[in-house]
Amino acid sequence: LSCGFPGNKELEPLKYAKMAMGASVSRRKVEGCILGITSLLSHCLGKGENVALVLKDVGVLLIEDRRVVMKFYSDFLERITGKRILERAAFKAPQLRDMVVSRMVPIASLTFTGRVIIFP
């Protein structure tokens, strides 16, 4: 089932079986992990905690004081665009620098407060 949204956008359900096959685990384990993360994330946000959700090989989703920011790893952006992101960000589009993060930067340093719950 897909749910329709304004602008002809479709919401598709997660493909648990495909994810399970890709991770070499059971579908039940994938469903349990996703439910666990979403429940804990919901609980933390409900308490007003700052949260960083680390998306392996993609980047970090920061949620802080009703502000949501996605910081992408430069190598992820380079893989999907086929271009050297850091060079382009520095010279052609300086605003991209705020969207790119190094894997070496401590996640807490990306927040205003320096306090964040980090989800692996």
Instruction: Note the pLDDT tens digit of each residue in 40-80.
Output: 889 988 998 888 888 888 888 888 888 888 888 888 888 87
Instruction: Give the integer Cα–Cα distance in Å for 85 and 98.
Output: 12
pLDDT at 94: 60
What are the tens digits of pLDDT across the range 20-51? 998 899 999 999 998 998 898 899 889 988 88
pLDDT at 103: 78
pTM equals 0.69
Q: Where are the domains of the chain?
A: 13-48, 49-119
